[in-house]
Amino acid sequence: MSATASPENLLRHGLTRVLSDAQSGELPLFVWTQGLPQDELLAVVRFCLPRLGAVQPMPAAEYRHLQQQVPPDVAVLASLLQPQQPTHAPQVAAGWLAQMLACLICCDSRDWWQGLGLRQPADEMRLLQHYLPDFAPQQVAQGRGRQALVQAWVMAGGHHALARRA
């Protein structure tokens, strides 16, 4: 990933890395679904891996089983990340990033830039500023996006066990 990668390429790289880590067992398998409906997950896979062509959906029962493993906190965390105002970034892509980061908060103690396979914290900052600009800009600028999200979640009544991981 080059130092001048576009936000879209950073997003593609991060999504691909997280999907790969979930499939390889480095992250829990539920992360592969990112808590998304299957049709939306298939759109993520097509965005990340366009060379695959047509992607076949999983049998509905298997997908439901994976979805049942997604911690309920993922939806709450993702909603805290979502932009409150329309941005120049595609809303669908911002939603994908929010879901992915929420999943990482629940199961991966690494900094986001590491979990996303990015080269440096500045890449994380560029990605967040482009797709999720409302999310604690000062915290993101200081490289503390993960901690800011967990703090907002705890203030909204979230479970304190996650705060210890941040």
pLDDT-based confidence at residue 160 (cuts at 50, 70, 90): very low
Consecutive H or E run containing 124: helix 121-131
Distances in Å between the Cα of 57 and the Cα atoms of 84, 91, 143 are 32, 23, 37
Q: pLDDT confidence of 165, banded at 50, 70, 90?
A: very low
Distance CA 28, CA 14 (A): 16
Cα distance between residue 32 and residue 63, in whole Å: 10
- Decide if pLDDT at 164 tops 50: no
Sequence letter at residue 156: A
pLDDT of residue 132: 83
Token pair listed for 86:
């329309």
Tell me if 137 sits within 8 A of 145, measured CB to CB: no
Confirm if 125 and 143 have CB atoms less than 8 A apart.
Answer: yes
Tell me the C-alpha distance between 97 and 42, whole Å: 15
Is the Cβ–Cβ distance between 104 and 114 less than 8 Å? no
- Helix intervals (H) in 29-90: 30-33, 38-48, 60-68, 73-81
Tens-digit pLDDT profile for residues 133-150: 777 555 555 556 666 666
Q: Convert the pLDDT of each residue in 112-131 to its tens digit.
A: 889 999 999 888 888 888 88
Q: What is the pTM of this model?
A: 0.81
